[in-house]
Every structure is written in C-alpha cells, then in structure tokens.
Structure 1
C-alpha cells in the first residue's frame, strides 16, 4: 500500500480585515482554513528483484504465490521467491518475505544455504526498480514446518516493517522428501536509497 506524504502546501490565514459582524457573510473567495496541495509521497517502495546476503553473494528474486496455503518456492537452487501476498521493500509496515532452497536434488546447495552462517548484526540488501533497501539481521530461529505459518509470525503484515528470510533446516526426512524445520531469519530496515 502506498504511504501518504506530508502536506507540502502553505497555509493561508483568513485576513484580519474579515468582518466579524454575523449579518455580513464573508466573500466566497476568502479562504476559511488551511489551503494547500499535498506533496507527492516521499515513501519509496519496490518489489525486490535481487537479494544480497552477508558476504556479498547475490541472487535473483522472483514473485512467489501460494497454492493451497503453501508458499511456492521457485525451482532452481539459485532463485529466491518474494511472497506476493506480503509487503514490498520500503512499505511502512508488514513483512517482506523471501524464501529459497537450502539445497536441491539436482543442483546441490541452494542459495539460502548461506543463511545458516548469517548472524545477527549482519546486513541483507534488497534491490529492485533502481532502488536499494538495507536490513540488519536481528534473529535467526529454527521453527517446525507445521508451525511456520501459525506460530512464527513470519507472514505477519500488521506489525512494523521487516524482512523475513526462510529456508529449510533440521533433519532431512527421506520418507517425506523434505526437512523437518524451517530456518527463519528476521531483519530490520535500516536504510532505503533512491
């Protein structure tokens, strides 16, 4: 949702010579209050098309939707998905959610395997539409897969703006073809460049 800008107009006071007699109606061309034109929004927001992790590794980001309440992570070890139901970089609130593979059967380690080494205090950069947003990592937690949507808060769109990076972690379950847990890395916005 676009933010609203600050009123950039000037105020025009009612002239002191306006008659105060209740029988005299002021002219319609005399302003009765503040007049101005709102300035364009100063908020910069964009859909991320690239993510840069601590250490400088970068990967393309593509939109990712949900099917049956499940986020569809893009195929390919090096691609990352931006949840199109979440916030954009620079939004005033809500989570920018990115998800990527820790590994794949055919391509080996995934781009988000690097999240296992990411630490609080390090930086993640999002780029898109000629813009850049920088986030500082606050936390890194492991969450059971069945609790990701309900208990982790990763998809929360009502709180303060933040970046949430999600990948798989924990023990690999060969019978079900997946990992038991998700790694959730949360970061706070610290800068936005035009």
Structure 2
C-alpha cells in the first residue's frame, strides 16, 4: 500500500470520526418570532363563543401548530399587529416577544422560562370580536433547548440544567445559560428569539455545539 492510499484511508477515518462527534454534540436551531399562546376562554373572548383555532402549519414540536388566527397586542407606547397564535389552546395565556418588541410596546417583560408568568408584564390583546387586558402574561422567553429523554441521556444533561451552545458562521457566537427542557413530547431543537438571531446573523438553518458548564443555576 503506497503513501497516497494510506493518507486517503486516514482522511476517511478522521472524517467519519468527526461526523460522529458532530452528530452527538449538534443541536439544530430555530428562530422563534413573537407569538401568543391562549387559553380557550380567552380565545372565545377574542374571537367569539365556541371558537376553535384552525391550523395554518405544523410546527417542529410534535402536536404544536401555527394557527391561521392572529391578534394585535398593545402596550402603553404602541402595538404589534398580526401576532400569530400557536395551538392548541393552553390552560393559560402567554405572549412571547423580543426585547425590541417590548420597547415598541412600552413595557418591560421579564426574561422567563415558558409557562412562568407569575408577576410578568401586563398586555392588552385585541381580536376581531373583543379585547382583553391581562395583568400578567407577557415575557421574553429564556433561550432554551427542547429534547427527549434519549437526547438528554446522549448529551449527559438533565431537565432544568443550563448549557452553552457554540454556533459558527459569519458571526460566530456562544449562547450562555441555555435552559435544557426535557420531555418525551419534544423534538430536539434550540429556540432563539429574533433579536438573538439577528445579532448573530442566524437564519434558523444552522446547528450549534452543546457544551456542558458547571456552577450555573
């Protein structure tokens, strides 16, 4: 076997090893634009009694979909129109915006994990059949990763743990304190908001490298 053949074999083996490592540590990214989750009661207040959401498109997370329905959200300084509702209806209403959105609205929503709305910012929702003032429910979503228990085992992480995600590209960036959320209902995917995506020139088609960190809670 000549030196050229040996070099070719070595390069192939290294390529396969590299690909295997990338597969283990790689997390696909998705950009999550402003959106709203609504309770059935609030949906009916906005769209009429007995109203149900209609599906526009399935989302990457199993069972979740972007609805055809949109609303306007309003704050003391301004409003945002055509904010997409995501379905199905939930037990509580929650609106997720970026920091830039919150400035336009004139409000100061806290950075929170989805579902943690106690003491969050107030917001007014406007639909075709009515409007609602919610004393709480507006948040900026904590950067997070959805993953299955099998994914978590592979990464060596647990639900509620924080990790770092390193992303290459034109503007390489490391996202710190990324929350791990584990459920058998999830599909592996990291969600960033539009501010984070724009600042790092992400298109939502990249993947990042998961890095475990210690001492963050």
Tell me the TM-score normalized by structure 2.
0.30
Greater fraction helix: 2
Q: Look at both structures and tell me which one has the larger radius of gyration over its CA atoms.
A: 1
User: How high is the TM-score relative to the length of structure 1?
Assistant: 0.32
